[in-house]
Amino acid sequence: MVDDQSPPINDPENGDPVAKEYTPPWSFSSFDGSDEGSGELVAEQVSVINGRPEIEIETATLGYAQSGSLGSAGEPSTIVNEPFAEPKQSPPDPSRPAVVEVVGSFLKPYKYADKPVVIEFENVTKSFRNQMVLRDLSFEIRQGETVCLIGESGCGKTVNLKLMIGLMKPDKGTVKFKGDRISKMNEKQLTATRIKFGFLFQMAALFDSMSVYDNVAFGLREHRLMEEPLMPVYIRERLAEVGLPPGVETKKPAELSGGQRKRVGLARALALKPEVMLYDEPTTGLDPIMTDIINELIIQSQDHGAKTGIIVTHEMRTVLKCADRVIMLYPISRLGPKESQILYNGPPEGMEEDADPRVRQFVKGEAGERIREMSSARQADEYESGLVRMHPDDIVSARPNPS
Amino acid sequence: MSQKSIPNPAVQSVIDPETGRRVEPSAESRPGFGSGLVDLIAFIGSLSMFNLSALRWLIYRPPRWRNLRPLFYSIGVASTTVVGMTGFFIGMVLAVQSYHSFREMGLESRMGAVINVTLVKELGPVLAATMLAGRIGSAMAAELGTMRVTEQIDALSALGTNPIQVLVVPRLVTCVLLIPLLTGIADCLGIIGGNLISTQLFAIDNYFYWYYTEKFVEMADLVAGLVKSVFFGYSIGIIACHRGFHSKAGAEGVGRAATESFVLSFVIILAIDLVVGSAWNSVYRILYPEVSESLI
């Protein structure tokens, strides 16, 4: 059995993968060794080195387990609560217990696996008019984690954030914050909960009519969290934390650049010392340098307050730099009826090697399949509507002669 | 080039999320008279709920002076000139339009009474409110609509505050307090404008002008106008905020919110003028039957 307390089996000196032997019964109910939780497993090859030497099994190389099941690694999901290497060529001989050698693998406990669940989605469905955006979506986010929600435009990433703080209500299912249902909260409870969240909006959503100082001070004043005389120093500190120079306090949002607006938005959110930070496309529309600065600020803000962070982004640099875990959503309109909307739920490093081509395409930014789909859909539309495609040259040639 | 059929853009197909196929909307879901009625009922319901929520927050947590002060400037001080000008010209136009008719009857010396009663009781409040619905109501709807579109209203909620309490209640209070005041300014300048035209252009004796004004214009007329303006102020504020809060995305959505705010406010102003005016007259007749009969 995999020892719960066993350290990672990489070579402690050089970090290279080394072999480790396991004897039955094996239990991989979760990869951090606990019954509940999540963890990471990389296994390049699993061989039976004793008992059934003829069996050698190539396994999937990456697994990500959550709540007792292997996530998106593909084939080895059958290993849950079963021997890692189920013999297929000959029945196991109970009298000869096999020893399995896991070559080139490491077992690293996921560092947030034992943390309490902060946000929990249970079978959440949300539609706008006739358009279903979320369908039976279930996932959980643990305290201290930084989770990136990625996916194509229109797959419901921002809707997820708004559901978390009760700006929207799910049509079906439940969204919980520390076990309490958001949609069942009254005004007072909702206000108390929202203060625990910080929200950096896509366009920063600074209040245009107020100065930068008043924007950052807004939450403190409304909730009477600080005496007015103490505010200038506190606000200056928050602005300095996000790298804004002195003197910016008196400016109006319209006078700021895109990156500065984002940083003021971050300072405003952090001023209330939130437990959970929600970032809605924090680097969209910024140059690469400013993107890196914002990414660094996100990491810093997570580190300082040991906050939980949920980042909605398309930017893979942000994902690779900031995320502990990545959840990839897919638009409902292009999913099969029984298919889960979550295509990937695992560490950022595993996305490029994921079994699902849609995940790999998204990471690499390849739209080959989509372009073909669009082209055939267009042709089908033209056929159904009976319209004949015209080339611009046809229009030119159809002009009446001026003479 | 052949063309079999042209799809009707009003009846848009939707994608079935289960199958991913296009589905034509059913007959029930197509726009028509029924859906228009449903929209109207939904609008009235939405406006009523919005109204109740604003009143609840007004009682539960009255606005702070810090939030009111900038609104007092933008709604009150900044509107003084335009409202004053409106009143001034209304007074002058009334004088110009009334003079010839009154002269034919030999009653031109009594023009002051007619101009000023009309001004303080009816035209002053209604036209000032109309002007303010255009100037303040549209601006508020556009401002709140922009805030909705740029997620500033969501940001207020995310910061643990109630947007109705922070944005709507102060605007409503400002409108209710300042629109009567602005109506008073319009009335005063209208009276001056009417007097100037009557005495300077048409050479009506100033003494008689004020004598008949004093004789026929009662305090009740002035109060009637100001009471109506309180209702006008409230309706302008609530409609503008409601349209702004429910603005659709994009520049078109914000523009539409501003237009709807003005059009709706104008209709409501006229309706309130009729209802409150009639109610006021009934109450006045009950309270002062002898005065009412002597006027008849």
Looking at the structure, tell me whether residues A83 and A150 fall in a common domain: no
The Cα of B11 is separated from the nearest Cα of chain A by a number of Å equal to 13
**Measured at the alpha carbon of residue B73, what is the angle toward residues B72 and B78, in degrees to the nearest 5?**
125
Question: B256-261 long-range CB contacts below 8 Å, 24 or more apart?
Answer: B257/B141, B257/B142, B257/B144, B257/B145, B258/B138, B258/B139, B258/B141, B258/B142, B258/B145, B259/B138, B260/B141, B261/B133, B261/B137, B261/B138, B261/B140, B261/B141
Return the domain boundaries, chain B: 63-295
Domain containing A38 equals 18-109
Please tell me the predicted confidence (pLDDT) of residue B243: 95
- Find the residue in B nearest to A385 (Cα): B5
Nearest Cα to Cα of residue A203 among A168, A155, A164, A254: A254
Q: Which residues of B touch A385 (CB under 8 A)?
A: 4-7
Tell whether B198 is within 8 A of chain A (Cβ).
Answer: no
- Return the CATH number at A137: 3.40.50.300
- Indicate the residue among A54, A86, A109 that finishes a domain: A109
Do A279 and A347 belong together in one domain? Answer: yes
Which of A56, A76, A109 marks a domain boundary?
Answer: A109
Q: Distance between CA B76 and CA B182 in Å, rounded? A: 7
Instruction: Tally the domains of chain A.
Output: 2
A221 in a domain, yes or no? no
Say whether both A68 and A166 belong to one domain: no
Instruction: Identify whether A80 is part of a domain.
Output: yes
Q: What is the ipTM of this complex?
A: 0.73
Same domain, A161 and A289: yes
Same domain, A185 and A294: yes
Residues A39, A178, single domain; the answer is no
Pair (A171, A297) in one structural domain: yes
Strand order in the sheet with A146-151: A197-200, A276-280, A308-312, A146-151, A325-329, A342-346
Partner-chain contact A194 B159, CB within 8 Å: yes
For residue A366, the model assigns a pLDDT of 78
Pair A179, A101 in one domain: no
- Whether the model clears a pTM of 0.95, i.e. scores above it, the answer is no
B26 CB within 8 Å of a chain A CB: no
Contacts of B2 in chain A (CB under 8 A): 386, 388
Last residue of a domain, one of A109, A143, A178: A109
Chain A nearest-CA distance from B64, in A, is 10
Q: Do A385 and B146 touch (CB under 8 A)?
A: no
Chain B residues lying within 8 Å of A194, measured CB to CB: 157-160
Residue B174 tokens read as 């400002």
Q: Do A103 and A169 share a domain, yes or no?
A: no
Give the distance from residue B22's alpha carbon to the nearest chain A alpha carbon, in angstroms.
Answer: 10
pLDDT of chain B along its 296 residues, tens only?
344 444 444 444 444 544 444 445 444 455 566 778 888 899 999 999 999 999 999 998 888 888 899 899 988 899 999 999 999 999 999 999 888 888 888 888 888 888 899 899 888 899 889 988 999 999 999 999 999 999 999 999 999 999 999 999 999 999 999 989 999 999 999 999 999 999 998 888 888 889 888 888 888 888 889 999 999 999 999 999 999 999 988 888 999 999 999 999 999 999 999 999 889 888 888 887 766 555 44
Chain A contact for B157 (CB, 8 A cutoff)? yes
Same domain, A72 and A136: no
Query: How far is the C-alpha of B67 from the C-alpha of B69, rounded, in Å?
Result: 6
Q: Which of the residues B28, B67, B159, B162 would you substitute to probe the A interface, choosing the one with the greatest number of A C-beta atoms within 10 Å?
A: B159
* Same domain membership, residue A67 and residue A33: yes
- pLDDT in the model for residue A363: 87
Per DSSP, the three-state class of A9 is coil
Q: What does pLDDT average to in each consecutive run of 10 residues of chain A (403 residues)? A: 38 49 36 36 43 35 30 33 39 47 46 86 90 91 92 90 92 93 88 91 90 93 88 92 89 91 91 91 85 86 77 90 91 85 88 85 79 74 66 59 61
Secondary structure element (H or E) that encloses residue A46, with its range: strand A38-50
User: Does A348 lie in the same domain as A279?
Assistant: yes
A165/B contact by beta carbon, under 8 A: yes
pLDDT tens digits for B152-182? 999 999 999 999 999 999 999 999 999 899 9
What does the block give as tokens for B161? 């505050």
A390 beta partners: none
- As given in the structure block, the two tokens for residue A361 are 């395409």
